[in-house]
């Protein structure tokens, strides 16, 4: 059949709150034009993130009932550890309450101060943790990743020549971390061939090679669909091969763990693992729970198996492609091809009259909320830009995007049809959209809490 249906049926529902345009205008103003500051009940369709926002399965909820809440050595921990080890092949598994905790512990124990961390593209928390600890984050995406309109099967690849230049450039490289799929670059996958070559370069220079594996299952399925020699392999076998290339991994279970909270840090380095566990005990919890309840460990253990079911992955990628095609049909430029967890609208191309310093991605995000109660997130100069020593915006992001991230097993096709209808309405008045300026910001991860104001000259 041509129609790819959801491989599940709905067992529980949650009502959505409908608001008027006038109500949304007031809500947006009171939130000072930052969608993170809007209460969830005032959102109709929430595409802010796919992190921890999905629906868990009946099997996950059932598993939670056997959660062992013992402080040390709980049965739930051993089930969780077994699943992670079988999947990743990594010897030392350290539970964390989410991915950014794993990043902070890893970069602290690698002592990144004065050193370089290299990635295809660092996402916001990864970059912030590196820089907060005194390190320097360097991105080495392939050229195609910098051009949203270009089609390439693996736009999440690392530029191997650029990676080699950094490795041989004289700076001390703490580690190389490949994000799969590449979130900042449009949810795009990295190929097995590229990951293998990057890992080999790192081994030859004795630099640790890590995976930021938040969306490992989606990346594995893209490899199955697009890379020669993998069409007959299962997503699980492909994922295991990906992990076999790495010295370690960070993971947010709020993505491809299909859970609402949790994560892990894993490594084959026994000495490093000892340091990481010491820091975990100091800041997160005992090494057999790491800030998580036993029931959360159980939910993740089940989710790590469910996420690799081929019927689920086929539906997941098809649902993203469906929205991407719908937005393209109404004329919105998106990162091509559509990625694995979100559709990224090229706000810079859509709003050429709004310069980067006036945050075109945020302008489009506000328009989606005002027009239809839809919440997305800017991936551009609000998230990745910065100020000079005199307080003037002087660093623009490579791309000005609006990400519409689709929570797993949560929304239906009619919800996506509504998003496309709102997009069409915005297209009709795109020339009237105005930019924004930052009124107040935090020194790190400013987009979460910044206060903004419209620029009146429009």
CA distances from 148 to 117, 296, 333 (A): 25, 37, 8
pLDDT, tens digit, 9 for 90 and up, residues 121-158: 998 889 999 999 999 999 999 999 999 999 999 999 99
Q: Report the pLDDT value the prediction gives residue 442, as an integer from 0 to 100.
A: 86
* 245-248: long-range pairs with CB below 8 Å, 24+: 245/195, 245/196, 245/199, 245/209, 245/211, 246/90, 246/199, 246/209, 246/210, 246/211, 247/202, 247/208, 247/209, 247/210, 248/90, 248/106, 248/208, 248/210, 248/211, 248/272
Q: Are 158 and 190 in contact (CB under 8 A)?
A: yes
Token pair for residue 426?
A: 């915005």
pLDDT, tens digit, 9 for 90 and up, residues 263-307: 999 999 999 999 999 999 999 999 999 999 999 999 999 999 999
Per residue of the chain (458 residues), give pLDDT as tens. 778 889 999 999 999 999 999 999 999 999 999 999 999 999 999 999 999 999 999 999 999 999 999 999 999 999 999 999 999 999 999 999 999 999 999 999 999 999 999 999 998 889 999 999 999 999 999 999 999 999 999 999 999 999 999 999 989 999 999 999 999 889 999 999 999 999 999 999 999 999 999 999 999 999 999 999 999 999 999 999 999 999 999 999 999 999 999 999 999 999 999 999 999 999 999 999 999 999 999 999 999 999 999 999 999 999 999 999 999 999 999 999 999 999 999 999 999 999 999 999 999 999 999 999 999 999 999 988 876 554 555 578 889 999 999 999 999 999 999 999 999 999 999 999 999 999 988 888 899 899 999 997 54
Rounded Cα gap, residues 427 and 431, in angstroms: 8
Tell me the backbone φ, ψ of residue 59, rounded to 5 degrees: -65, -35
Q: What is the pTM of this model?
A: 0.94
Rounded Cα gap, residues 62 and 170, in angstroms: 53
SS3 of 73, please?
coil
Q: What is the CA radius of gyration of the chain?
A: 21
Rounded Cα gap, residues 78 and 259, in angstroms: 18
In sequence order, what are the residues at sequence separation of 6 or more whose Cβ sits closer than 8 angstroms to the Cβ of residue 355? Answer: 435
Cis geometry, peptide bond prior to residue 337 (ω within 30 degrees of 0): yes
CA angle 380, 183, 309 (to 5 degrees): 155
Question: Domains in the chain, please, with CATH?
Answer: 21-50+310-454 (3.90.1150.10), 58-306 (3.40.640.10)
Q: Report the pLDDT value the prediction gives residue 2, as an integer from 0 to 100.
A: 79
Specify the residue for token string 């009946």. 58
């Amino acid at each position: 059949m041509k129609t790819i249906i959801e491989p599940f049926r709905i067992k529980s529902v949650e009502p959505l709150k409908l608001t008027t345009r006038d109500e949304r205008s007031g809500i947006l103003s009171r939130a000072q034009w930052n969608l993170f500051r809007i209460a969830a009940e005032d959102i109709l369709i929430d595409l802010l993130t796919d992190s921890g926002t999905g629906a868990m399965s009946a099997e996950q909820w059932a598993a939670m009932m056997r959660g062992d809440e013992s402080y040390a050595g709980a049965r739930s921990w051993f089930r969780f550890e077994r699943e992670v080890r079988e999947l990743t092949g990594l010897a030392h598994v350290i539970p964390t309450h989410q991915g950014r905790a794993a990043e902070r512990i890893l970069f602290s124990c690698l002592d990144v101060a004065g050193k370089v961390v290299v990635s295809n593209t660092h996402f916001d928390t990864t970059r912030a943790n590196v820089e907060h600890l005194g390190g320097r984050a360097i991105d080495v995406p392939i050229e195609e990743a910098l051009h949203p309109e270009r089609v390439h099967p693996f736009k999440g690849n690392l530029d191997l020549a650029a990676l080699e230049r950094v490795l041989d450039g004289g700076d001390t490289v703490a580690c190389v971390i490949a994000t799969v799929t590449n979130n900042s670059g449009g949810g795009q996958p990295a190929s097995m061939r590229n990951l293998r070559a990057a890992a080999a370069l790192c081994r030859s220079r004795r630099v640790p090679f890590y995976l930021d594996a938040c969306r490992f299952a989606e990346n594995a399925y893209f490899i199955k669909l697009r890379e020669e020699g993998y069409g007959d392999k299962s997503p699980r076998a492909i994922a295991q091969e990906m992990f076999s290339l790495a010295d370690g991994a960070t993971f947010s279970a709020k993505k491809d763990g299909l859970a609402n909270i949790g994560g892990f840090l894993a490594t084959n380095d026994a000495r490093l693992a000892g340091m990481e566990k010491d820091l975990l005990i100091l800041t997160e919890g005992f090494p057999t729970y790491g800030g998580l309840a036993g029931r959360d460990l159980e939910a993740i253990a089940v989710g790590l198996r469910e996420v690799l079911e081929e019927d689920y992955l086929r539906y997941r990628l098809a649902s993203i492609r469906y929205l991407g095609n719908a937005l393209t049909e109404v004329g919105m430029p998106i990162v091509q091809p559509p990625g694995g967890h979100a559709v990224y609208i090229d706000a810079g191309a859509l709003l050429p009259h709004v310069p980067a310093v006036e945050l075109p991605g945020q302008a489009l995000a506000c328009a989606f909320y005002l027009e239809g109660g839809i919440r997305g997130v800017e991936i551009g100069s609000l998230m990745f830009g910065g100020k000079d020593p005199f307080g003037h915006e002087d660093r623009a992001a490579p791309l000005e995007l609006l990400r519409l991230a689709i929570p797993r097993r949560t929304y239906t096709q009619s919800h996506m049809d509504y998003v496309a209808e709102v997009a069409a309405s915005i297209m009709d008045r795109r020339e009237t959209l105005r930019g924004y300026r930052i009124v107040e910001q935090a020194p790190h991860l400013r987009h979460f809490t910044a206060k903004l104001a419209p620029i009146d000259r429009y």
